[in-house]
Structure 1
Amino acid sequence: MFDCREEVLALTKQLVRIESIVNEGGEKVLSQALHTLISSYPYFQQQVDHVIYQQTENDDQERYNVIAFVKGTKNPSNKTVLLMGHIDTVGIDDFNLKELALDPDALAEALHHEDLTEEVRSHLESGEFEFGRGMLDMKSGVASHLYLLKYYSEHPEELEGNLMVVFECDEEDGSHGIISALSELKRLREVHGFDYVAAINADFVSPRYTGDPNRYIYKGTVGKLLPSFFITGSETHVGSCFEGIDPNFIAAHLTRQISYNPALCNEAFGEITVPPVSLKQMDLKPTYTVQTALSAYVYFNFFIHSWSPKEVLDRLKVEAETAFTTALTEFKENYLAFSKVSGEPMNDIHWEPRVMTYEDMHSLLQKEYGEVYETHMNAFNEQLLQQTELDTRMFAARVVEEAWKWMPDKNPAIIMFYSSLYSPRIEVTGKNDKEQNLLDALEVAVETVQPEYPHPIVTKNFFPYISDMSFVALSDDAAGISAVSSNNPGWGTKHFVDYEAVRAINVPVINIGPYGYDAHKQYERMEKSFSLNIVPNLTNEVIQQLIGGK
């Protein structure tokens, strides 16, 4: 086994000290630093075309990926293993010691004087944890890959294939980095004949529950969708509230129906996703008035293991219809009770639950108005693109809001759509030779390294967080992807992903990453023993099983 703890730690601290908050400019600085460092290695001074500085594509930020590869000389082969890692981090505004968030040594010293929970203080005083933004998520993982790249650049004779690193930006927001890297991976495959046999990501892992002793390795990853709902009501003056229906009232029932609903957890291979949770609930009223809102907007985080994007829409349509029915029932009951206590007569309620997908509404309007509608919406989308402050989620909502104005029937409705990036689910089950070879290699690696570490190293089927693993393989068929593109109002203008480019790479992927606590929080910390020593050695064992000639 490599005795690499101190070297990987030094690299990690070096990376953490370079601010690389997503979308704030630092990603470019860190990618430049990585490119300079890799280019300084003797191998890459001789093979200058083996390190690539790639600007992201279709991106409103200037930022870069760093891709580098070593060709093995032991028994030259096209077999190539990819090591993946993202270089961006979330922000530091949550830190009490904000000025020290990127200085691990000074931060640790200052934390001794802070009011900490018992767990955080015990980790700090143990000396076995390093604190700082990006320490866990995931610069220690990048450092592990960097260590292995350097080692094999000095020892290419130990490889029967090729080792490539892909250090990508923008994992924490829109995955522009890995999506852009696909074109470069394709080009390198064409130029060098690479056969991508496996990918190893190094994103962080954490306890799954309080007291969990396991350190996890994941085969494949969870998928993530952002199902969104545009909700219209019937506007009225608040002094005559029962003459209309507030879309916020319907939205509240929708959120209650969907958020934390265990019926919307997706089980596969004995593992289950967490239920959806609302990430935004708002109305679209621009200013204060005493009228109820015309429309509301809600979207939810939704994880999947085996369901397709179309299946998710089908299931959520049922939930939305239930929520709508419940809202109308409660509205009528409240109206009746008010009528009794006020003595005012009760008018007939003529609304019925109405839920449709954006695809259905768009098709209806195309048939109703034809080219006039199409021309108007295309012009509206182009105009909306000029509002650069709109993210993909609000862009999509505004497109639906504009399309709704064309609806002949303006009775209350819920329009369902997707408003953001779909991060595809990936299953690695041994269904082909590449997957089985990777699973076999991982099994040997764990058996080899486990005796060197006191805590159980456990493999599971789905990495439970969003990651760039989603963009190197595709388990969905064309119909599943079509449900995403056909139901995203910003597709082709504000938002586009070439999922067929993902399918063209289609390499089985696992995650062997650093272990720690509180990623994305101010006490983000990484356990040194597993992260700095076990992770590089586990990764190396998999490499050796696949392309080392073992």
Structure 2
Amino acid sequence: MNRDLAKTLPDRASSWAIALTEQKSVTGTQDETVFGPWLAAQLREEPAFRRADIWTIEVGPGDGRHCVAMLLRGTGRSTVLLTGHYDTVSTRDYGELEELATRPQALTRALRNSLMDADTPAARLARADLESGEYLAGRGLLDMKAGLAAGLAVCADFAESANAAGNLLFIAVPDEENNSAGARKAAQALPGIYEQHGLDLVAAINLDAIADDGDGSKGRIIALGTVGKLLPTAYVVGVPTHSGFPLNGINAAALAASIAARVEWATELTEHCGSSPGTPPSLLGIRDGKAGYDVTTPATAFATFNVLSYRRTPDEVLDRFDRLCAEAASNLLGDLRRRSQAPDGIASLARPVPLYRFEALVEHLDQQEKHRLDAYSASIADSDLPLPEKCRLITQQVWGLSRLTGPAIVTGFGSIPYLPTNLSDAPAAMRLKAIAMQIARESAEHYGSTIACADYFAGISDMSFFGEAAESSLDIVARNTPAWKDSVRWPPRQGLANVPTINIGPWGRDYHTPLERLHISYAFNVLPHAIRDLCARLLQPSGS
């Protein structure tokens, strides 16, 4: 579709959604690197944006990925930020349909035909959805290019309005599917943008997608906050021995497995949200430290866990995690004592397993050893290793430098922290909440579709970096994330935007799978109108 001829909000949203989806942007590929400059060029060619300020922000020196920013001016300083990510997960899972993965109309037809003999509930539901004509398939269409498209449709409408109150700032970012480097860079850049352009940011609207396998009522929501995510880790040191004489040592892998079993679904780390059940913690990875096969029991093991929170701070999460690890170790040693049947007992099982936090091990080192540790951390910073593996290797290094002996457990964090955000009692946040709830109450009458307000966005999102979060709680994460300084590179100040932030985006089903599909009418007809009205009310002077 020629966007120059698409003058209605639904037409513009549909046109941008297809165009954005057809331009591939898989995380970590050259396509993601190309996408930012491509989008900036597309915005400059759009007639509605001929008076807009459009620029790109490189994620880091030599990184190659860019945030794309566009400022549309009305009257006054008040500004609403519309933001979302443009990167997607891989298309390889489409198999023989991969060539069509980013061509929504063609993929919808081909996928519908491929599901004619569907024999799973998910596949049968997908076939029914696609046959109904109410859904459109495509990698990244739902997560989350249709959300960006709705934002761009609203931007075009704003740009063509005479004497519009306030300003709109649109920022599209890369890397949400990996480590949110784009959102973190954009959050750091915002103060400079305010100062340079004379803006007062009153609210941010994230445009991320929500999945709903039911009637859509759980997908048609305005989320007033977002869940937080941490990755607690346990580096376990054992006492290796020949497997023919297992009573002479303590198996690090067995100890790590005991921790994994105790932490899995642990109620102590499950935080409830009001009357809604919380998401329990779960093991994400576990491995021993052996490089190959031999008959010696593992000397080390490493386990990582997914822990979600709504209001708990990282120090509280790590406290609880430490207690669970210590309990698991004590229980295992008790079981081994009973199983050993050694008449005089086994000395290595008589003492509790020491537990250290990563920061305590670092403090155990002398200055020369700390320099060696820093040099090692810097040497692996630019490698392609994932952050948890970098954290494992750095912990292994600090353990060796400490000259301590096993058994032991070293706890810490292994990845980027996503802090929970909640609308505060500050006037701007309270006003945002009131307007969002008003939009929701009026939705059936104004848009022909209900929209509800929810306390939290169901998954982790870039809201953690734009919204109101307790940045002071990052201190304990920084001290206990081995790769923090050289690989995470979180800035010492202004790492979070701390802007009142909500999420409203498209809904559909099965994103991150080949069945990813978008609910068309909500994405193109309802969502842009709701976002436009949210922005208009937020930008009206208070009391008007």
Which TM-score applies when normalising by structure 1?
0.91
CA distance in 1, matches of 2:17, 2:296: 56
Q: Look up the equivalent residue of 2:143 and give its one-letter code.
A: D
Q: Secondary structure at the match of 1:228?
A: strand
Q: Look up the equivalent residue of 2:354 and give its one-letter code.
A: R
Other-structure match for 2:278: 273
Other-structure match for 1:459: 453
Structure 2 vs 1, CA of residues 484 and 25 (structure 1 numbering), >3 Å: closer, same or farther? same
Match of 2:422 among 418, 427, 442: 427
1:309-458 correspondence to structure 2 within 5 Å: 309-336=314-341, 347-348=346-347, 349-363=349-363, 365-366=364-365, 370-385=366-381, 388-429=383-424, 431-452=425-446, 456-458=450-452
Structure 2 vs 1, CA of residues 232 and 134 (structure 1 numbering), >3 Å: closer, same or farther? same
Deviation at 1:28, TM superposition (A): 2.8
Deviation at 1:425, TM superposition (A): 1.0
Q: Look up the equivalent residue of 1:123 and give its one-letter code.
A: D
Deviation at 1:193, TM superposition (A): 1.9
Deviation at 1:408, TM superposition (A): 4.2
Q: Look up the equivalent residue of 1:190 and give its one-letter code.
A: E
Contact 1:202 1:513 in 2 (8 A): yes
Structure 2 vs 1, CA of residues 232 and 45 (structure 1 numbering), >3 Å: closer, same or farther? same
Q: Deviations over 1:398-435 (max 9, x none)?
A: 11111111334413111001121011110114x01110
Match of 1:224 among 225, 229, 241: 229
Structure 2 vs 1, CA of residues 144 and 46 (structure 1 numbering), >3 Å: closer, same or farther? closer
Q: Look up the equivalent residue of 2:134 and give its one-letter code.
A: E
CA distance in 2, matches of 1:361, 1:272: 36
CA distance in 2, matches of 1:20, 1:276: 31
Q: Deviations over 1:221-247 (max 9, x none)?
A: 111111111001110111111211111
With 512-521 and 398-407 compared, the bigger mean Cα shift is at 398-407
Match of 1:213 among 204, 214, 217: 217
Contact 1:66 1:167 in 2 (8 A): yes
Contact 2:268 2:320 in 1 (8 A): no
Q: Secondary structure at the match of 1:301?
A: strand
CA distance in 1, matches of 2:524, 2:402: 59
Structure 2 vs 1, CA of residues 156 and 174 (structure 1 numbering), >3 Å: closer, same or farther? farther
With 112-121 and 388-397 compared, the bigger mean Cα shift is at 112-121
Are 1:108 and 2:108 an aligned pair?
A: yes
1:9-408 correspondence to structure 2 within 5 Å: 9-42=14-47, 44-47=49-52, 50-57=53-60, 61-72=63-74, 76-96=75-95, 97-115=97-115, 116=118, 117-157=123-163, 159-207=164-212, 213-214=217-218, 215-336=220-341, 347-348=346-347, 349-363=349-363, 365-366=364-365, 370-385=366-381, 388-408=383-403
With 297-306 and 353-362 compared, the bigger mean Cα shift is at 353-362
CA distance in 2, matches of 1:316, 1:211: 38
Deviation at 1:135, TM superposition (A): 1.1
Other-structure match for 1:531: 523
Task: Extract unaligned runs of 5+ from structure 2.
Answer: 1-6
Cα RMSD for the two superposed structures: 2.1
Deviation at 1:3, TM superposition (A): 5.2
Q: Percent identity?
A: 27
Deviation at 1:355, TM superposition (A): 1.6
Contact 1:279 1:299 in 2 (8 A): yes
Other-structure match for 1:489: 482
Deviation at 1:271, TM superposition (A): 4.5
With 6-15 and 431-440 compared, the bigger mean Cα shift is at 6-15
Contact 2:468 2:500 in 1 (8 A): no
Other-structure match for 1:473: 467
Contact 2:507 2:518 in 1 (8 A): yes
Deviation at 1:381, TM superposition (A): 2.0
CA distance in 2, matches of 1:162, 1:447: 25
Deviation at 1:455, TM superposition (A): 5.5
Deviation at 1:372, TM superposition (A): 2.1
Question: May I ask how many residue pairs the two structures share in their alignment?
Answer: 527
1:498-509 correspondence to structure 2 within 5 Å: 498=491, 500-503=493-496, 505-509=497-501
Task: Extract unaligned runs of 5+ from structure 1.
Answer: none
Q: Deviations over 1:201-228 (max 9, x none)?
A: 1100122x75673322201111111111
Q: Secondary structure at the match of 1:7?
A: helix
Which TM-score applies when normalising by structure 2?
0.92
CA distance in 2, matches of 1:85, 1:362: 38
